Amino acid sequence: MAWGDNEYGQLGNGTTTDSDTPVQVTDLSGVVAVAAGAGNSLVLKSDGTVWDWGENAYGELGNGTTTNTNMAVQVSDLSGVEAISSGGLQGLALKSDGTVWTWGDNESGELGNGTTTNSDTPVQVSNLSGVISIGGGGVYCLALKSDNTVWAWGDNTYGQLGNGTTTNSSTPVQVINLSGVIAISAGELHSLALKSDGTVWAWGYNGFGGLGNGTTTSSDTPVQVSNFSGVIAIAGGYEASLALKSDGTVWAWGYNGFGGLGNGTFINSDTPVEVSNLTGVVAIAAGHGHSLAIKSDSSVWAWGYNSFGELGDGTTTNRDTPVQVSGLSGAIAIATGQYHNLALIHP
């Protein structure tokens, strides 16, 4: 199911009409994972193939063309995939052999293959193996290896590669001073890592406090989110961050101009604040000024920016506290794009 902005057909229902409530993606089944980019959507099927739809100006659908489509098409020459992610205009796939493959925009080297040439079919990220998790940011990417180290490539204007520089890299570089990582997430211009001890570390752009360390100073190496532990999941969005704690509460920090922190205000915060009236959460996702959560009853809740109906509550009114997504139950996974969302529903 998909909802929100549909300018490029990213809702996948054969139209380009926005929807402020969920609509079903057409002719698609056997899905096991969902992801969303700026203007496109992608899914992983149980047979290890990847399917994509929406905007395709830079080849981000990976089907050998640059033609938009409002129906799902298969990413070319790609199989054996076990995880997917999407950045702004690039797609990522993790294969079962631990290699990473990318396609789409490559202006800043975000495809990681040693070039800055766009590709409308998947290319392998250079010198990278043993990967267990991937994340796509605005114009850069992250990978977590089995040795719990983190690697990054692409744009590094604000230090989002975490290697102590602000130099772009078209091949992976290791994030320094960071070990014991069990999860990663890439935001628009900043990165997050969750350690096995439940602490959260962040690096990159910090103009609105998205690093959560009590400052608005960007950092090209990881800094610890202040006074914060017990975390089991993280999500990076547009200059803001989300974290799910083991007690089922959700916390947020960074930009809050549209209520994306969900704490009943529109005031930015450079340290974590609790999302109001939200408990029993089992999964989170952060978009471009809005956020999503799945509760233990499989309902989906949303808050923040809503001009395209991306909160799914039948309105286009911004919300500074969570509202339930209408007509949606049985959700087992969620993904946020720039102004649209996906939910995978248990059949």
pLDDT tens across 118-164, in order? 999 999 999 999 999 999 999 999 999 999 999 999 999 999 999 99
Q: Residue 242 is which amino acid?
A: L
At 236, is the secondary structure helix, strand, or coil? strand
Measured at the alpha carbon of residue 19, what is the angle toward residues 13 and 25, in degrees to the nearest 5? 25
Residue spans of beta strands (DSSP E) within 175-259: 181-186, 190-195, 200-204, 219-224, 231-236, 240-245, 250-254
| Pairwise CA distance, residues 321 & 279, whole Å | 13
pLDDT recorded at residue 347? 79
Supply the DSSP symbol for 175. P
Locate all alpha helices (DSSP H) within 57-175, ordered by sequence. none
What pLDDT is recorded for position 321?
Answer: 98
How far is it, in rounded angstroms, from Cα 69 to Cα 14?
Answer: 8
User: Residue 22: its pLDDT value, please?
Assistant: 98
Rounded CA-CA distance 316/10 in Å is: 18
Using a pLDDT cut of 90, give the percent of the chain over it: 100
Q: What's the CA gap between 72 and 143, in Å, rounded?
A: 26
CA 173 to chain centre: 20
Residues of the chain below pLDDT 50: none
Q: How far apart are CA 255 and CA 50, in angstroms?
A: 33
